[in-house]
Amino acid sequence: MALAFLDSNRYDSLLEIGFGSGVLLPELAKYSKKTLGIDIHSHIKDVKKMTLKENVNAALSKGSIVELPYKNNSFDCIISVATIEHIVKLSQAVGELKRILKRDGLGILGFPVANKLSDMLLVLTGSLRVYKKELKEIHPNTHRDILEEIKKQFDNIKVSRFPAITPLDFSLYCCCMFKKI
């Protein structure tokens, strides 16, 4: 879903925030001249080895979305999948995205949708009470919180969802694309 927002564009500089195992980096590198990644985990060297085996020379570093170590207006494109819902300081994190994104730059975020359908699926696999307690600690922000903050700080917002045939609040996952004007 997130990659669909990239279309066939090619960017001078693309940053993936929360690259995790690096699984998206080979595909993201196809869209950029310079690919960078930042994550809070300490397995940067392992991910770098994997990307080099895939012929991807991405500049990877350790850091947080709430204090990004990049200059203002650094990136043409920023993408982050399954990360923003974990951030307690949501407004600060979105402000950092705005700070480092170039004018007319593209931002893409992917995150789960919090609703009764996703709760029901989790009930089938375990305890809803334990899940809800743990979820609030792991995912302090719902899809609504995230979209509201994006709308406060960015323009030209588009949202896609999965499944596409359901209204947003009954979906399982959503992605949003936004521009800095």
18-31 pLDDT, tens per residue?
A: 999 999 999 999 99
Residue-wise pLDDT tens digits, 69-113: 999 999 999 999 999 998 999 999 999 999 999 999 999 999 988
Residue 125 has pLDDT above 70, yes or no: no
Closest CA to 102 of 24, 4, 14: 14
Query: Helix count (H) and strand count (E) of the chain?
Result: 7, 7
Contact 111, 146 (CB under 8 A): yes
Could you tell me where the DSSP H helices lie in 22-166? Answer: 25-29, 44-53, 90-100, 116-125, 128-138, 143-153
The CATH number of the structural domain formed by 2-179 is 3.40.50.150
Strands 101-112 and 155-162, bridge-based pairing: unpaired
Domain boundary assignment for the chain: 2-179
Strands 32-39 and 59-62, bridge-based pairing: parallel
User: For a pLDDT cut of 70, what percent of the chain falls above it?
Assistant: 88
Position 119 confidence tier, pLDDT thresholds 50, 70, 90? low
The pTM is what? 0.90
Average pLDDT in the chain? 90
CA-CA distances (angstroms) from residue 31 to 18, 55, 56? 18, 14, 12
- Per residue in 129-138, is it b (16+ CB within 10 Å) or e — as a string? eebeeebeee
